[in-house]
Amino acid sequence: MRKNNVSRGTNKVIVVGGGHAGCEAAAAASRIGCKTLLITNNKNKIGEMSCNPSIGGLGKGHLVREIDALDGIIARAIDESGIQFRMLNASKGPAVRGLRAQADRILYKKAIKNILSKEKNLKIIEDEVIDLDIKNNSICGVILSKKKIVPCETIVLTTGTFLNGIIHIGNETIPAGRVGEKATYGLSKTFKKYNFKLGRMKTGTPPRIDQNSINYKNLKKQDSDKKIIPFSFMNKSIKVKQIPCYITYTNKKTHKIIEKNIAKSAIYSGNIKSIGPRYCPSIEDKIVKFKDKNQHHIFLEPEGLNSNVIYPNGVSTSLPKKIQENFIRSIIGLEDAKITQYGYAIEYDYVDPLQLSNTLETNKINNLYLAGQINGTTGYEEAAAQGIIAGINAALKVKKGTEFVLSRSEAYIGVLIDDLVNKGVTEPYRMFTSRAEYRLLLRSDNADLRLTPKGIKIGCINKDRKEKFNKKQALLEKIDIKYKKNTFTPNNLLKYGIKINLDGKKRNIFDLLVFKDINRKELENIWPEIKKIPNDIFDELETRSVYRGYVERQLQDIKDLKKDEELKIPKNLNYKKIPNLTKEVLEKLNYVKPRNLGEITRISGVTPAAVINILRFINRKKRKWAV
């Protein structure tokens, strides 16, 4: 290995780990102007997609857009490497749509490395951090593999699945952080020494398949969207070649093979005692927990334009290798499948996030920040979101002694961190739109309008983005004012063939868009100037108009919720009678038995929407009892 040339005392911020959290943290600290050192075991693994080769999705796509609004790197990287873009929930409202892109693994890593190479304040070295240099409960530096101490003022730890990591394939166990890479042990000992509460979690991955061994003839093809929307607000188009994915399904034969061998799975043999992600279950979990299902989706996702490897999304497993071959070959299209890498489960240590502040600084050791799976989350996007916040705060503490915190009403990132540090985790945390009570305000399309001004204020936005954003904001305000002044009566509109209630009420352009049968094209006939409005500007103003009434009601719901936090829960309340509560929420309510509404809000997994349903139900009951 090349000798590391690290000058003592020059690094203000040290970031440990080159995954999604580490890359965002290092880039953010560098942008703010701090001399930053990123330490990774292997430079070639920087930006590695350890599991599925995709970015975004429902909830997760919102996080990516918000990271981008703060000038993060994940959105730009996927725009440079995405080989299939799809808008999920496209037929639904803007608040719950989620952009998702399939990535070329090699192009993604190349994009991340290229972006990081342009950060003037960032240096990257290869080494292993075995301990932390701590004096008087404050960070002084890191201790490298040969006991060399590298001083700094703040540290961001992003260790992913490497802390005491163990891979499981059937009864086979391999100490590792991921396939082919050794686990880390020293830092877990450090956490225990300083009385941090640690836990164990599990995640998994499916076997990889050689695409040349797949019969695509009877499989459903899934193409990219015809109109592709980039993730980054800095991009208008995607230049990477787009290719299809394919869909197949498990079947009764598949399920019988798994059921017969379930005891050989590391998850069910007792070898694994930690909890895996509820919303990304292994195929074993699906078969056991959903016995009424005769089939489960499998998305056959290419890992790159020049790769022969297919990622079968939906069959994560820790069954023995031979059983994996058997059940994979029972699936339509995969009868002759050749496995290039077997699926596995991995267990690792995490730090209870209740020991963190909203800046992601630990409560026990000053100037130490944690981000990513070390905090009990799962997913690239959740890790990257924590990384950018931890990196910003590590740098701000050095430069200004200030903090940067996003509230639940400002960002999905705020929801994520607030959930972690106030509710903790009982299973790997994953972001969903349902976790946000303000989701009509926190749309992915307006992330820049919400967060870029905050980024400009703290100094984490580059010049090009700042200029582009200021132009957009000025144009938005100008058009908003101009077109709100121009109003039409129902009789005016009738002349253009647009029929609405003849109530004499004057309406502006954006008021008219609330009507389902009136679209932009019809309004362009009334006022041709509208054709000149950029799509993103028009869409933002339209959405504001359409959602206005719903937003007002939602804000009132939140005010009521805060006011009634002390509302007592009747002891004999039957939660099953409350509409729209999921099975998961019912399980947790009956287990915890909360005494008041405030306690319900702090139960992990109970969404704000569920709390509001409970509040409304109790208030309706009270009114009936009063009569």
Residue 280, in any domain of the structure: yes
Say which CATH number the domain at 546 has.
1.10.10
Q: Which residues pair with 222 in a beta bridge?
A: 245
Same domain, 313 and 218: yes
Residue 566 CA to residue 575 CA, distance in Å, equals 18
Q: Is 107 helix (H, G, I), strand (E, B) or coil?
A: helix
Query: What are 40's two structure tokens?
Result: 């990774």
Q: In terms of residues, how long is the chain?
A: 627
Residue 210 CA to residue 340 CA, distance in Å, equals 6
Closest to 75 (Cα-Cα) out of 94, 56, 90: 56
Same domain, 572 and 535: no
**CB of 392 closer than 8 Å to CB of 417:** no
Mean pLDDT score, 559-585:
82
Q: How are strands ordered across the β-sheet holding 344-351? A: 172-175, 166-169, 344-351, 198-205
Closest to 611 (Cα-Cα) out of 553, 548, 551, 562: 562
Closest to 462 (Cα-Cα) out of 126, 183, 76: 76
**CB of 610 closer than 8 Å to CB of 594:** no
Same domain, 320 and 287: yes
Q: How are strands ordered across the β-sheet holding 208-210? A: 220-222, 245-249, 297-302, 309-313, 208-210, 339-341
**pLDDT > 70: percent of the chain:** 96
Q: Is 368 helix (H, G, I), strand (E, B) or coil?
A: strand
Residue 494, in any domain of the structure: yes
- The whole-number pLDDT of residue 49 equals 95
Residue 30, in any domain of the structure: no
Same domain, 543 and 612: no
Same domain, 614 and 540: no
Name the residue with tokens 């990513």.
372
Residue 283, in any domain of the structure: yes
Mean pLDDT score, 32-48:
96
- The whole-number pLDDT of residue 13 equals 98
Is residue 548's pLDDT more than 50? Answer: yes
- How confident is the model over 391-407, as pLDDT tens digits? 999 999 999 899 999 98
Is residue 6's pLDDT more than 70? Answer: no
Helix (H) or strand (E) holding 419: helix 412-423
- How confident is the model over 492-540, as pLDDT tens digits? 888 888 888 888 888 888 788 888 788 888 888 888 888 888 888 888 8
Say which CATH number the domain at 219 has.
2.40.30.260
What are all long-range contacts of 493-499, with beta carbons under 8 Å and residues at least 24 apart? 493/526, 496/522, 496/525, 496/526, 497/522, 498/522, 498/526
- The whole-number pLDDT of residue 389 equals 98
Lowest average pLDDT, out of 36-45, 86-95, 444-453, 550-559, goes to 550-559
Same domain, 212 and 341: yes
- How confident is the model over 355-382, as pLDDT tens digits? 999 999 999 999 999 999 999 999 999 9
Lowest average pLDDT, out of 97-111, 265-279, 368-382, goes to 265-279
- The whole-number pLDDT of residue 515 equals 83
Residue 324, in any domain of the structure: yes
- How confident is the model over 167-194, as pLDDT tens digits? 999 999 999 998 888 888 999 999 999 9
Considering only residues 623 and 210, tell me which one the structure prediction assigns the higher pLDDT.
Answer: 210
Q: What is the DSSP string of 272-292?
A: --SB--TTS--HHHHHHH-TT
- How confident is the model over 410-468, as pLDDT tens digits? 999 999 998 998 888 989 999 999 898 888 889 999 999 999 999 999 999 999 999 99
User: Domain residues for 486?
Assistant: 470-552
Considering only residues 234 and 290, tell me which one the structure prediction assigns the higher pLDDT.
Answer: 234
Is residue 220's pLDDT more than 60? Answer: yes
Query: What are 586's two structure tokens?
Result: 């019912």
Half-sphere exposure of 116 (CA within 13 A, CB side): 26
- Which of 295, 311, 346 finishes a domain? 346
Q: Which residues pair with 340 in a beta bridge?
A: none
Mean pLDDT score, 12-40:
97
Residues 6+ apart with CB under 8 A from 380: 20, 49, 55, 74
- Which of 552, 586, 609 finishes a domain? 552
- The whole-number pLDDT of residue 9 equals 54
Same domain, 337 and 281: yes
Considering only residues 142 and 546, tell me which one the structure prediction assigns the higher pLDDT.
Answer: 142
Q: Is 513 helix (H, G, I), strand (E, B) or coil?
A: coil
Is residue 136's pLDDT more than 90? Answer: yes
Closest to 309 (Cα-Cα) out of 180, 167, 206: 206
Residue 284, in any domain of the structure: yes
Closest to 186 (Cα-Cα) out of 145, 244, 127: 145
Query: What are 529's two structure tokens?
Result: 């100037």
- The whole-number pLDDT of residue 4 equals 45
Mean pLDDT score, 75-97:
93
Same domain, 546 and 609: no
Say which CATH number the domain at 622 has.
1.10.150.570
Residue 484 CA to residue 165 CA, distance in Å, equals 58
Same domain, 276 and 245: yes
Same domain, 492 and 621: no
- Nearest-5° Cα angle at 140, 134 to 143: 75
- Which of 346, 361, 376 finishes a domain? 346
Is residue 135's pLDDT more than 90? Answer: yes
Same domain, 217 and 302: yes
Same domain, 497 and 598: no
**CB of 41 closer than 8 Å to CB of 181:** yes
Residue 384, in any domain of the structure: no
Closest to 238 (Cα-Cα) out of 225, 246, 247, 229: 229
Helix/strand/coil percentages in the chain, nearest 5 = 40, 20, 40
**CB of 29 closer than 8 Å to CB of 158:** no
Q: How are strands ordered across the β-sheet holding 54-56? A: 54-56, 98-103, 82-88
- The whole-number pLDDT of residue 42 equals 94
Q: H helices within 505-607, ranges in order?
A: 509-512, 520-526, 535-563, 583-592, 597-601
Number of domains in the chain: 3
What pTM did the predictor assign?
Answer: 0.87
Residue 387, in any domain of the structure: no
